[in-house]
Structure 1
Amino acid sequence: DNEFSRAVLARLDDTFRWEQLEEEVIRALRSDRFQEESRRPTADGMLALARANYEVCFDETSDLSQRLIFPTTPAEEHGIEDARFVRFIEDDGRVTYYATYTAFDGQVVFPQLLETRDFLRFKISTLNGPAVQNKGMALFPRRIHGCYAMLSRQDGENLYLMYSDMLHFWYEKRLLLRPTYPWEFVQVGNCGSPIETEAGWLVLTHGVGPMRRYAIGAVLLDRDNPEKVIGRLREPLLTPTEDERDGYVPNVLYTCGALVHAGRLIIPYAMSDQCTSFATVELKELLEALT
């Protein structure tokens, strides 16, 4: 309801507090102009969106392992999940740590963005725009040709690539990968932010196959043009073993990111949403298999 939202925002400055927004929403609902009950969903939506943007701060004397972020807003009351962290380097060398994650209120999925520079102060914001759909957003660790780039899942089946000159607003998406091999026939998605290598952008993927078995694969994208797929594993890199198949969500092996250390790719992964394990692979061997 653009008429209602414009009327509310017209009475606010460019920056405002939550209490001011709530006051103007209530004022608009009580006015003769907007007394219809049909305006209520718009009013509730504006307030829910505002609540979903907040900050969490920790004392600098606290241990890193004690800094836990719990669901805070109504949009998160059924969980915050699948955080994909990335160390992002701006063109001027500034470093910010971002994490895309999913907030769930029991009915609606909210794609969110967490950012911090010191792991003491965390800013949480909503991701906006028509290209922000579904789950599984994963930000590239730097700009590409001046734009932010992000992998996304738009339709629950394919993997997409998005570009934007604004971090919090995304308007366009481009199809990157479709399910191709039997182990990923149901769905293909990303397993965390791309990792830059000399050979290209290494992207871990998840594929869903028969019996909804989740496996982890890998693709390699061109460094200058990530829309170009250089290589793709025909067989999965990791599949659930017999003792990893039984759990809260059976048959699922899943990760939200990996890192390179001493020439090896280290992959933390969840086993059927019940416990965590680690796998390692020689980066050189993996890249050779992809090229």
Structure 2
Amino acid sequence: YLTTLSHLRLASSDNGIDFEVHNDKNIFGLGDHETFGIEDCRVTHIDGTYFLTYTAVSDNGYGVGMISTTNWSDFHRHGIIISGPNKDCAFFNEQINEKYYCLHRPSMTIVGGNDIWLAQSSDLEHWGKHQCIARTRPGMWDSVRIGAGASPIKTEKGWLEIYHGADEDNRYCLGALLLDLADPSRVIARSKEPILEPEMAYEKSGFFGNVVFTNGHIVDGDKITLYYGASDEFICAARLSIAEILNVLQS
């Protein structure tokens, strides 16, 4: 059951660490499909426009909604772009073979699992050719559910996707997938062990303990500043090396 109603707030920073929250830029749920809030937002910058994909929650269930902006003052609501039950939608930040691609996570309750899927589109609103590309792994840290983090990062070796996974104890960790540059449905490699897991006190204890969960990052050369939620209570950052992540991936 729900104990809170989520909404989005805008924060800005000059250095990526010290943030100012702009309380006049709040985005709340609107309409029949967002009555219980909007949450888990990912932001992708494509050709001068920022696209916000998020989970829209209501008594109709939950699906993927989208908002776009060019200036963080004027927002265009596109409504539900992937019907539910679905969440964890992250756009690739450029076209591949003249098509847009996204990762998303249908939530299966009877048949199938909570796995990462790929879809393609010509306009970022209408999505098709859905296919499952990564499944949960029994007996491992990502045995029960997995989902995309932020937009995949383009590297010389492939698209690097930092994703979350949870086990039977609802312990959330982060791992990595490497997808083919020309065919992102092909998984080249996947991390056997987490690249980030709950270790600190604030990651182990909080509103929902033993959770690290990422929705965003900043890439600067080889370095990633990875922003993540800890225990559903704190916003944290970790700096990682792209080269080091690629080195630990296993095919």
TM-score range (shorter-chain normalised) is 0.7 to 0.9
Q: Deviations over 1:119-176 (max 9, x none)?
A: 221111123467x641111111011111111101123511111112232112331110
Match of residue 121 from structure 2: 164
Matched, 1:173 2:130: yes
Matched, 1:82 2:82: no
Match of residue 14 from structure 2: none
Match of residue 153 from structure 1: 105
Identity %: 32
Letter matched to residue 171 of structure 2: R
Q: Is the 8 A contact 2:90 2:102 kept in 1?
A: yes
SS in 2 for 1:286: helix
Matched, 1:136 2:88: yes
Where structure 1 has 5 or more consecutive residues not aligned to the other structure, the ranges are: 1-62, 90-94
Letter matched to residue 151 of structure 2: S
Match of residue 117 from structure 1: 70
Q: Which has the larger strand fraction?
A: 2
Q: Is the 8 A contact 2:195 2:245 kept in 1?
A: no
Q: Deviations over 1:170-220 (max 9, x none)?
A: 233111001126100101111111111222111011111131101000111
Match 1:249 to one of 208, 219, 225:
208
Letter matched to residue 174 of structure 1: Q
User: CA 1:175/1:102 → structure 2, altered by over 3 Å: closer, same or farther?
Assistant: same
Please, what is the CA RMSD of the aligned residues?
2.0
Letter matched to residue 285 of structure 1: E
How far did 1:64 drift?
A: 7.9
**CA distance in 2 between partners of 1:258 and 1:290 (Å):** 19
Q: Is the 8 A contact 2:87 2:104 kept in 1?
A: yes
Alignment size in residue pairs: 223
TM-score (norm 2): 0.82
How far did 1:74 drift?
A: 4.0
Matched, 1:274 2:233: yes
Q: Which has the larger helix fraction?
A: 1
Q: Deviations over 1:81-101 (max 9, x none)?
A: 011101113xxxxx2111110
Match of residue 105 from structure 1: 58
**CA distance in 1 between partners of 2:134 and 2:38 (Å):** 27
Match 1:239 to one of 197, 208, 222:
197
**CA distance in 1 between partners of 2:36 and 2:225 (Å):** 30
Letter matched to residue 158 of structure 1: D
Q: Is the 8 A contact 1:127 1:169 kept in 2?
A: no
SS in 2 for 1:287: helix
Match of residue 176 from structure 2: 218
Q: Is the 8 A contact 1:230 1:290 kept in 2?
A: no
Q: Deviations over 1:226-274 (max 9, x none)?
A: 1111211100011111511111122221011222124211111111111
4+ long deviations beyond 6 Å = none
Q: Is the 8 A contact 1:252 1:271 kept in 2?
A: yes
**CA distance in 2 between partners of 1:64 and 1:144 (Å):** 35
Matched, 1:202 2:160: yes
Q: Is the 8 A contact 1:217 1:235 kept in 2?
A: yes
**CA distance in 2 between partners of 1:71 and 1:133 (Å):** 17
